[in-house]
Amino acid sequence: MNLLNFLKRLIQDDGFELVDANSKSYIIGKPKNEIPIRLKILDKSLHWKLLLNPDLYLGEGYMNGSIVIENGTLTEFLDIALKNIGRQPTNEITNILARFRRIYRYLTNFNLIGKSKENVAHHYDISEKFYDLFLDEKRQYSCAYFKDEDNTLEEAQNNKIDHIIKKLNLKPNQRVLDIGCGWGTLAIDIAKKTQCEVVGITLSENQLEYAKQKAKEMNLENQVEFRLADYRQLNEKFDRVVSVGMFEHVGRKFYKKYFNKVFEFLNEDGVALIHTIGSINPPRGPQPWITKYIFPGGYTPSLSEVSLPIEESGLIVSDLEILRTHYQHTLSNWKERFISKKAEVLDMFDEKFFRMWEFYLVGCEMAFKWSDQVVFQFQLTKKLNATPITRDYIY
């Protein structure tokens, strides 16, 4: 099978124009617009690379300029592509490669404390000003909660914080651990709104410095403590444990260790809330482009991969909520803000960096819209009666 036949079999709904590296033009599918989106391939090696491993080489081609999109945007093109692909592998070759990557990654990826710190620095210690270009004012770099699709990003992120606080069922003066606290604003909001004592831990030195400064500015230093630490280094007790957007970086080898530590952290009446990206498909390999360029060491688990280590730890799944398209809307907001600040991004980095992050934000947006990505919110306890017997306290 060549690339042309592969694309014609794959794209059935909507379509685009393909111009290959030999300057030959083809209509793929049934474009809905009179002037279709045009995908131009400028490197002949991509004719076989895209057939062999499109999950890697499409992103690389877009980054380095050997794939160009005309008469439309990257969002419009990936919307068509992922709508047609859905939750299935693009072809049997990529399916086999994904299985191989899953096994290889498990055998070779060790997210030990030092390696985890390196992985965090790769992504989060880029530049403080960079993240301010597209995040909300609280620097919430995780899925927001859209009570209404017309919510602003700021409203939706505040909704998310409030939703988590309600699920934790917090009482004044309780002690809370925030694992992977980011820039500290969730921990700070918990302290302000519930009068709890909060310990936030991160592996990012930039995030730690920012969080400490924020706590100082808000006169919360006696109530919120931030530390540069890995969850495996703590041996303390807490009434509540929260972790938002950190579990994706734990690594499958350490799922058992992670949930055992959550069990150890919690007092007998304690409650934990673990918020993580996950997959509604069976276990599969990590996304190769994301792993190589954006999140080294990252992995979004299937539900089956998380359930067993939770059970073996002794924890109880007291509530489970699946946030389906919320992250699609979150990423759409980030993407629009990011693209609108292209001049500022190019002042900090180069065109290749801009295209890499554009592909990351758009690709993830479409993965949550059409593919297998969702967000799991696990509420975990040690006792069956640690939380009320209905969800009225949440809603």
Which amino acid makes up residue 112? L
- The two tokens of residue 74 are 């990257």
CA dist., res. 2 & res. 125, Å (int)? 42
User: Which residue of the set 143, 181, 196, 364 is catalytic?
Assistant: 364
pLDDT for res 94? 58
Q: Domains in the chain, please, with CATH?
A: 3-85 (no CATH), 113-393 (3.40.50.150)
First to last CA, the chain: 53
Taking each helix axis from N to C end, the angle separating 153-168 and 326-340, rounded to the nearest 10 degrees, works out to 140
Region of 350 please: left (phi>0), alpha (psi -120 to 50) or beta: beta
Return the closest-CA partner of residue 320 out of 282, 364, 272, 284: 272
pLDDT for res 165? 98
Which phi and psi (to 5°) does residue 29 adopt?
75, -150
- The two tokens of residue 153 are 């990003």
CA dist., res. 153 & res. 283, Å (int)? 31
How many beta carbons lie within 10 A of that of residue 39, not counting itself?
25
Under DSSP, the state recorded for 350 is -
> Residue for token digits 């009482």?
171
pTM for the predicted model, two decimal places:
0.92
Residue 2 burial (CB < 10 Å; 0-12/13-18/19+)? exposed
DSSP lists the bridge partners of residue 18 as 26, 39
Digit-by-digit pLDDT tens for the chain (395 residues) are 688 888 998 899 999 999 999 999 999 999 999 999 999 999 999 999 998 889 999 999 999 999 999 999 999 999 999 999 998 876 655 565 555 555 555 555 555 666 555 655 556 567 778 999 999 999 999 999 999 999 999 999 999 999 999 999 999 999 999 999 999 999 999 999 999 999 999 999 999 999 999 999 999 999 999 999 999 999 999 999 999 999 999 989 999 999 999 999 999 999 999 999 999 999 988 888 999 999 888 899 999 999 999 999 999 999 999 999 999 999 999 999 999 999 999 999 999 999 999 999 999 999 999 999 999 999 999 999 999 999 999 99
pLDDT for res 287? 87
Q: Cα–Cα–Cα angle for 69, 73, 79, nearest 5°?
A: 105
> Residue for token digits 């925030």?
178
Which phi and psi (to 5°) does residue 133 adopt?
-70, -30
Q: Are 331 and 365 in contact (CB under 8 A)?
A: yes
pLDDT for res 123? 60
- The two tokens of residue 221 are 């230093």
Task: Based on the residue annotation, tell me whether 364 is a catalytic residue of this protein.
Answer: yes
